[in-house]
Structure 1
């Protein structure tokens, strides 16, 4: 497919502030690899779209993609929604990528409202790879590179069940969203429930498991299932609501570390210091929370690797038309998950916080 004419971006980094999407343009100064028509002088042009511009998970993903782009002389445009609820900002970034004639889009999508724009990009000839957040269906994109979010939840659930040592689990489940369905939300939550040894009922739906019963080592009660929007203030207010319902909560599942930090603040304010708080991400601040005893365990992901592999996949696709394929038995390219804790549970593989800090982002 012949590329349309384009204006080359300026040879410096530009930050455009005050918009609903934060955009940065990165460009090199020498000719690079072939474009989508195989021309020898065209550079590869990639747009990376994250959920928001500030969260350390997404900035780590940008760092990995930026390094790969610099190493391979790729023009990289980075855009984001203003927060994890902003689909319109992501849609505008997709439309901009189409208008520029980019080769590909790498996207961590903000929910199904973005689906039509993704389809429009593929119809325009762009390669679209989902990073971190699978689309529904997966076939909406050309490939998906992500952590196994269900397994991430399962690991911290298994750790929690083992760490309780048979005590009753009085559980608060702090999810991401209450107003939309995003796959990683139910995957992490339902993975945690399954890891605890609780029947998840429909593992595609949060909150439909039995409120009381037995887990793998004893009795449980689920006090609440609250949305946090993945934010610290959302985590704090959600935890406050849960404690109002039952101040005896001793297990807190948080879908991400940012909301987990808010939950810890609410627990401290209530004078509760012995609850087991677990989370998913693996940032340096999150692993430090393991060191400090605020989090009992964290499932560590590797967003920098997602960004790096995404850019490298686009380069290969431009060169020979090949699309990255998952390993046998998987329907996505697995970028890895590791359990980090300083209180290991027998029979469950983990690394300590010192090693986690070496691998954090």
Structure 2
């Protein structure tokens, strides 16, 4: 384990230098060397995530840091204070620009909320790559390395539909952050997979939870006060699923509900193994981070830019496989959680 005192001091010094007052900070190395992209100099990679607390973004940050160290790139990681903190991400982008980043990797809180800052960075010659979350339009960044979130949502929906065994769904939907492409794509994909449309009376209730466990628990508790006649729950991510499970458990409803999720972290796979929810759709954030850093190093050396959407894959994880829904069990999931595909 790294020395906490030194790491904390580095973070505080970097935060002071960057004048970041409302963003989290993780600093792996200081900038140094040539700043010219394509000059053969050292890549200077800045990562901006949605938060510093969600395990998914912690894993993505750690993977990017390790990839940067392995490839000889300088690395700085910043984050918003909460899921939806667009202003914090804008400040992080501006500070990375001032510090001479050659590439900025970003998981945008909103598909549109940071576009002006991204545009300024690209006009300044900085390569900007979206990780995990696409911008709207997608061409606002040079490239996107991410899960096909429509496909991941569809896989969750197909599994829940199959697990209901022909019983008509009575569904609660616990969404993410309004305006995020991840939220929209997963929601729409799930409905496609389960065979419903927005506004269908089979959707008993729907609430956003911003990907937060405690908010999700509160929102599900509120929905259950209106009706407990449900048999299915959609959750946008695994912290949301854990919150929903706590609310369902308090009402004694866990055995009557099929719940799915998306993320595929080790804790989430353990939740599936332990029966908190029936299935999760695993993503591969390490692959996103590693490929993003590799592209950043190539850009610094040669000026070559990646382009378009690069799908990093998804896999259903469950110990209760359903016909017609390809899946892996939790043993496989624990061996590969958030690894490479």
Task: Report the TM-score when normalising by structure 1.
Answer: 0.86
Structure 1 segments unaligned to the other structure (5+ residues): 1-11, 201-208, 213-220, 326-330
Contact persistence 1:47–1:105 (CA under 8 A): yes
Mapped partners of 1:270, 1:19: distance in 2: 42
CA distance in 1, matches of 2:30, 2:179: 39
**Shift of residue 28, structure 1, vs aligned partner:** 7.8
Name 1:310's counterpart in structure 2. Answer: 292
- 1:199-243 deviation line (CA, Å, top 9, x unaligned): x3xxxxxxxx2323xxxxxxxx11111010110111111111221
Superimposed CA distance per residue, residues 145-191 of structure 1 (whole angstroms, 9 cap, x where no aligned partner): 100001101001001111111112110000013xx411111100110
SS of alignment partner, residue 181 of structure 1: coil
Corresponding residue of 2:3: none
Give distance in 2, aligned partners of 1:37 and 1:358. 38
Q: Which consecutive aligned stretches of 4+ in structure 1 deviate over 6 angstroms post-superposition?
A: none
Between the aligned partners of 1:45 and 1:116, the Cα distance in structure 2 is 21
How many residue pairs match? The answer is 323
Contact kept, 8 Å, 2:172 with 2:233, in 1: the verdict is yes
Q: CA deviation at 1:333?
A: 0.4
Aligned to 2:23: 21
Structure 2: any 5+ residue segments left out of the alignment? 1-5
1:223–1:245 CA contact under 8 A, matched in 2: no
CA distance in structure 2 between the aligned counterparts of 1:229 and 1:297, rounded to whole angstroms: 21
**Does the CA-based 8 Å contact 2:38-2:299 persist in structure 1?**
no
- Of 191, 194, 198, the match for 1:193: 191
Matched, 1:136 2:124: no
The CA deviation at 1:85 is: 1.7
Q: Which residue matches 2:162?
A: 162
Q: Greater helix percent: which structure?
A: 2
Match of 1:120 in 2: 120
Partner of 1:298: 280
Q: Deviations over 1:56-85 (max 9, x none)?
A: 100110111111111111110100000112
Give the aligned partner of residue 83 of structure 1. Answer: 82
Match of 1:332 in 2: 309
Alignment match, 1:210: 199
CA contact (8 A) 1:341 1:351 kept: yes
Could you tell me which residue of structure 1 aligns to residue 91 of structure 2?
92
Q: What is aligned with 2:57?
A: 58
> Is 311-320 or 47-56 further displaced after alignment?
311-320
Q: Secondary structure at the match of 1:66?
A: helix
Q: 1:289: Cα distance to partner?
A: 0.6
Question: Which residue of structure 2 aligns with residue 48 of structure 1?
Answer: 47
The answer to whether structure 1 residue 73 and structure 2 residue 69 are counterparts is: no
* Secondary structure at the counterpart of residue 144 of structure 1: strand
C-alpha change, 1:98 and 1:28, in structure 2 (3 Å) is closer
- Segment of structure 1 superposing worse, 47-56 or 311-320: 311-320
Asked whether the 8 Å contact 1:80–1:93 carries over to 2, the reply is: yes
The 8 Å contact of residues 39 and 302 in structure 2, kept in 1 or not, is answered as: no
- Would you say the 8 A contact 1:43–1:74 is kept in 2? yes
Of residues 245, 260, 270, the one that matches 1:264 is: 245
TM-score scaled to structure 2, two decimals? 0.90
Contact conserved, 2:101 with 2:126, CA < 8 A, in 1? yes
Measure the CA separation in 2 of the matches of 1:296 and 1:162. 11
